[in-house]
Structure 1
């Protein structure tokens, strides 16, 4: 399986994103919401299966572009795990963000060792999760 990496959505169609991301989420975003989320990110990295053209992994960052960035999501489809794709996506993103002072993410304890292998350090964080908005929040002011 040949994997190519892309840092833009150029040439990626909606149907190439609907391959089973957000596995286990009780209220996952639709493919169109997923696309919009990627479009509005500060930076993205995509892993694409050369044979099928489907996106099989992604990482996104949101940032002020000056001082800080936050990496909210990294996902690799189950059939493509354990091939180094997640590590490559993280390294590509960290390289793109290296000029910033801080790059943060929150993750579950069971994946902390993965991020430690990517040269990240454990830290303490706080969060709020509105699971009812997990499919994507549309601000009524943005609907017009």
Structure 2
């Protein structure tokens, strides 16, 4: 059974294994945990063994705007509705905000459209080396 928590102080770095598959320079588990704890809102999905099998985080000014940088579910747990529940929970926490944005590849846009999101133009810059620093 999967359970969800937004208490990031109940999560430890060693529970964050197997994420960022295919990233050129994945963050360490310690950095991953620091991001979750430093977020405006974050939610993790845990299995029966207390292993984190999915997570989402949102950064925000807490007044008008928010951004969702990461949503991941471990490959062996995909297709079970975990990602959908994570998105639902973080969007519920943002109901009082004017805008919630995220960036995704074009093939993922239909996934996010079911939550009421629409494609918008955007730009980005990545400093891949900063993930390992």
Task: With the length of structure 1 as denominator, give the TM-score of the two structures.
Answer: 0.88
Give the C-alpha shift of residue 127 in structure 1.
0.9
- Please point out which of 101, 112, 115 is paired with 1:118: 115
- Asked if structure 1 preserves the Cα contact closer than 8 Å seen for 2:44 and 2:86, the reply is yes
In structure 2, runs of 5+ residues without a counterpart are: none
User: How much does 1:13 deviate?
Assistant: 2.0
Output one character per residue of 1:38-62: Cα deviation in whole Å (capped at 9) or x when no partner: 111000011110x210110000000
- Counterparts of 1:39 and 1:80, CA distance in 2: 23
1:1-144 to 2 correspondences below 5 Å? 2-17=1-16, 19-49=17-47, 51-135=48-132
Distance 1:112 1:134 in 2: 26
2:39 match: secondary structure: coil
Alignment check: 8 A CA contact 2:67 2:100 kept: yes
1:56-83 alpha-carbon deviations (Å, 9 max, x no partner)? 0000000000010000000000000000
Output the CA distance in 1 between the equivalents of 2:129 and 2:82.
30
Q: Which runs of 4+ in 1 moved over 3 A?
A: none
Unmatched runs of 5 consecutive residues or more in structure 1: 138-144
CA distance in 2, matches of 1:16, 1:34: 11
Looking at structure 2, the residues matched to 41 and 52 of structure 1 have their Cα atoms a distance apart, in angstroms, of 25
